[in-house]
Amino acid sequence: MKNKEKEVLKKTVIRSSLLLISIFSLIFGILITIEGITNNKEEKEELISYESNGNIDYQISLKENDFYNIENTNYKNIIGKYIDNINLRFNYEFSASNLLNSEVKYSLKLYLVSEYTANNKKEEIWKQEYELIPETEELNINSGIVTISKDITFNYDEYNEIAKKVRSESGVLTDSYIKVEFIVNNKLELIEKDMNFNDNHTLVAKISLLDNIVTFEKINEYNNKETLYNTISENANYPLLITGICLLLVSLLLLIQSLKMFINTSAESKYIIEQNKILKRYGDVIAETSTKPNLEDTNIIEITNFIDMINIEDELRIPILFYESIKGKESWFIIINNNKAYRYILKIKLKRKSNVS
């Protein structure tokens, strides 16, 4: 009997291990499948590299004076009463690694602005717009380079006098300045890839008015280098997804088989325990036989409670024969009296509690 218990224990350990392995494999398969679905794969294809530059140059022509011994300068700060004319040059340069079609629209505008300060905040009270260059369009076909350079020259005193008039007539102590905007909108078509993109910029030159010391400020100068990519995206990582699905199927089959084996082992274990309990407790009235009892000419009475077999044995004083009809699955306990046979069958699928007390 001990050998049977050891064998059942060994099977239980092996089949429990297989069950755990199949569960972990199933979980791992689920995780890989989810990763395969959610892990989007992206590849970048370089389309074009380009560089875009924008800057402002300026020259200040001076009146005859005893303070400055030069005719032109590009000082950021200069005494206003000595300024004659101001020349501004706005430069736009675009160069690309591929051939392009470009449609460039540009314009140049001057704004004369007057503002005042209230509660430490400057408020605009007057603004005049001057269109120096109306919107102009240039086309460049099959070229990787676009260059635009535009000059404007104006008399400083002319605008300074207008600003003085605004201050005088408004009765408000205003601050004024000139703002010149060079607006470039470059629409580009990448011929090889049938792709469009824009390179838009606004350069600003700001010059103060009504000040003893005039300041020059250059705004929005830039030097940009860009690379554009075409991103090829896959909604799922298919190699990982296929691996996960295969692992899921194998794990499911292994899990189903392991569960069956585990259930069978559990039932077999209960059967062996029940059988050993009977044999140990009532071994003095049980005789084990390896030969199947001949019950052909007997009236078989099926007993459903082993205690009733003990009571019958006690009454008839006839030993109980023990015969395992199906090894590891079914046992017969029989008392033969003349043409009657009392039989209790212990089966592996027995689910009721033990009747042995």
Is residue 247 predicted with pLDDT exceeding 70? Answer: yes
Tell me, yes or no, whether 272 lies in a domain: no
The stretch 252-268 carries a mean pLDDT of 67
Is residue 354 predicted with pLDDT exceeding 80? Answer: no
Residues of the chain above pLDDT 70, percent: 85
The stretch 263-288 carries a mean pLDDT of 81
Q: Are residues 36 and 58 in the same domain?
A: no
Is residue 2 predicted with pLDDT exceeding 60? Answer: no
* Dist. CA 189–CA 206, nearest whole Å: 33
90-127 pLDDT, tens digit per residue, is 999 999 998 899 999 999 999 999 999 888 888 999 99
List Cβ neighbours of 171 (8 Å cut-off, separation of 6 or more): none
Residue 239's pLDDT is 72
Q: Are residues 90 and 188 in the same domain?
A: yes
* Dist. CA 70–CA 24, nearest whole Å: 87
The stretch 212-239 carries a mean pLDDT of 85
Is residue 145 predicted with pLDDT exceeding 80? Answer: yes
Sign of the alpha-carbon torsion through 75, 79, 83, 89:
positive
Residue 3's pLDDT is 56
List Cβ neighbours of 67 (8 Å cut-off, separation of 6 or more): 79, 82
Q: Are residues 190 and 258 in the same domain?
A: no
List Cβ neighbours of 335 (8 Å cut-off, separation of 6 or more): 309, 312, 313, 316, 318, 319, 320, 321, 341, 342
- Out of 79-88, 226-235, 244-253, the most confident range is 79-88
Q: Which helix (H) or strand (E) holds 38?
A: helix 2-38
Q: Are residues 255 and 152 in the same domain?
A: no
35-94 pLDDT, tens digit per residue, is 767 766 667 778 889 999 999 999 999 998 888 888 888 888 999 999 999 999 999 999
Q: What is the DSSP letter of 191?
A: T
Give the chain's radius of gyration (CA, Å). Answer: 51
Identify whether the C-beta of residue 322 lies closer than 8 Å to the C-beta of residue 309.
Answer: no
194: left (phi over 0), alpha (psi -120 to 50) or beta: left
User: What SS3 state is found at 17?
Assistant: helix
How many folded domains does the chain comprise? 3
Tell me, yes or no, whether 276 lies in a domain: no
0.95 surpassed by pTM? no
Give which of 169, 170, 201, 197 is closest to 184, Cα–Cα: 201
Residue 333's pLDDT is 93
Q: Are residues 198 and 315 in the same domain?
A: no
* Dist. CA 158–CA 164, nearest whole Å: 10
Residue 19 burial (CB count, 10 A): 18
Tell me, yes or no, whether 121 lies in a domain: yes
Q: Are residues 229 and 240 in the same domain?
A: no
Tell me, yes or no, whether 65 lies in a domain: yes
Q: Are residues 75 and 219 in the same domain?
A: yes
Tell me, yes or no, whether 274 lies in a domain: no
Helix then strand count (H, E) for the chain reads 4, 14
Q: Are residues 217 and 75 in the same domain?
A: yes
Q: Are residues 2 and 121 in the same domain?
A: no
pLDDT-based confidence at 260, cuts 50/70/90?
A: low
- Domain limits for position 108: 46-234
Tell me, yes or no, whether 184 lies in a domain: yes
Burial group, residue 260, by CB count within 10 angstroms (0-12, 13-18, 19+): exposed
The stretch 26-38 carries a mean pLDDT of 73
The stretch 295-307 carries a mean pLDDT of 90
Residues of the chain above pLDDT 90, percent: 48
174-199 pLDDT, tens digit per residue, is 999 999 999 999 999 987 778 899 99
- Looking at every residue in the chain, the average pLDDT score rounds to 85
Residue 268's pLDDT is 73
Q: What angle do CA 330, 294, 347 make, to 5 degrees?
A: 10
Residue 102's pLDDT is 93
Tell me, yes or no, whether 221 lies in a domain: yes
Is residue 305 predicted with pLDDT exceeding 50? Answer: yes
CA 189 to chain centre: 32
Residue 357's pLDDT is 43
Cα pseudo-dihedral 224, 225, 226, 227, rounded to 10: 170
Q: Which helix (H) or strand (E) holds 303?
A: strand 299-303
Residue 15's pLDDT is 63
Residue 246 burial (CB count, 10 A): 13
pLDDT-based confidence at 13, cuts 50/70/90?
A: low
* Dist. CA 323–CA 325, nearest whole Å: 6
Q: Are residues 61 and 210 in the same domain?
A: yes
Q: Are residues 300 and 254 in the same domain?
A: no
236-241 contacts at long range (C-beta below 8 A, 24 or more positions apart): 236/36, 236/37, 236/39, 236/40, 236/41, 237/35, 237/36, 237/39, 237/40, 237/41, 238/36, 239/36, 240/32, 240/35, 240/36, 240/39, 241/33, 241/36, 241/37
Q: Are residues 174 and 251 in the same domain?
A: no
Residue 53 or 30, more confident = 53
Tell me, yes or no, whether 277 lies in a domain: no
Is residue 19 predicted with pLDDT exceeding 70? Answer: no
Identify whether the C-beta of residue 176 lies closer than 8 Å to the C-beta of residue 189.
Answer: no
